[in-house]
Structures are given as C-alpha cells and as structure tokens.
Amino acid sequence: MIVTGDVMNYVKRSSCGVSISCRGDKQNLQIGIKAYINKLCQVRLASYDGIIKVTKNIFHFQRLIPIYAQKDILLFPLSSIRNMDVLYINYLEIYKINRDKNNNISIMFYDHTTLNVKISTVFLSKQMKRCERIMQFLNKKSQESVYNYGLSLEI
C-alpha cells in the first residue's frame, strides 16, 4: 500500500476500492477512498475529518476541500467524496496543464504521465488557487516556527 515514500499523482475510487497512480504505475487496493486518504494523513498524526474541519475553519472553504496529507501530497478533489467517480489529484506533482480545442483538460505530472479529465478550466483554476493558498499558509507557518525555534525560555 502506498502510504509514504512514494510520489502519488492521483487517487480515484474504483469498482474494487481505490486506484492509485504512482510514478506511471497504477495500483488497485481494496480499501475505501476516505480510509485510504485517512491512512495518508495519519503519517502526520492527523485524520481526514480533522484536516477538513481545520482547513474549512482557516480558509472558509465550504466544499471540495483540498487535503494536505503529507509533505509531498496535497490532494484536491474534482467532485464530492460521495460520488462514485471521485478523483483526488496531487497538486504538488502537477507539471503542466493543457486544454484542447474540445475543452478537455490534460494534466501532465512530473513523471510525464498524463491524466485526461472533463472539467471546466474555471473549476480547476479555483481548486489550484485553493492549493496555492494552503501552501503559502504552510510555508509561512514553517518560517515562523524556524524563527521561534531559536527562542529560549528561562524558568
């Protein structure tokens, strides 16, 4: 099971559980998509529901919330997790996005695999901007913790 150490491009619900694209290889696991994402989050001592709640609270997102699961996995959904065809894309592995003349979106990942999806560019742009906001927030918090690390307490 891909939980940590492997670079994931996307994860989607399949008829038998989840299908994961990782470095050009696809792997099918017999686990629910929420349970799988929850396992990814547990590496950071967090849970799917906890991350959703905190992200909603900080950023005031209402639905289709991106999930920062690990340092190299920031997943954003293309539809509700309840949908049978739900697909979560790893924002941190996107190399390039193209749109053809029929308005189909082609997402190329750093490992040069591609994923073709039928979604609007406006929706994709909105999800990408949400991920950018999350990454900016995390980078700012990371820098703050580095500065605070040098402080000493005298008791």
For the stretch 59-116, pLDDT in tens is: 999 999 999 999 999 999 999 999 999 999 999 999 999 988 787 899 999 999 999 9
For range 26-45, the mean pLDDT: 93
pTM over 0.85: yes
Report pLDDT for 93: 96
- For the cut 90, the answer to whether the pLDDT of residue 24 exceeds it is no
- Reduce the secondary structure of the chain to three states and give it as a string: CCCCCCCEEEEEEECCEEEEEECCEEEEECCCHHHHHHHHHHCCCCCHHHHHHHHHHHHCCCCCCCEEEECCEEEEECCCCCCCCCEEEEHHHEEEEEECCCCCEEEEECCCCEEEECCCHHHHHHHHHHHHHHHHHHHHHHHHHHHHHCCCCCC
The pLDDT confidence band at residue 5, using thresholds 50, 70 and 90, is low
User: Which carries the bigger pLDDT value, residue 31 or residue 1?
Assistant: 31
How far apart CA 97 and CA 110 sit, in angstroms, is 11
- For the cut 80, the answer to whether the pLDDT of residue 148 exceeds it is no
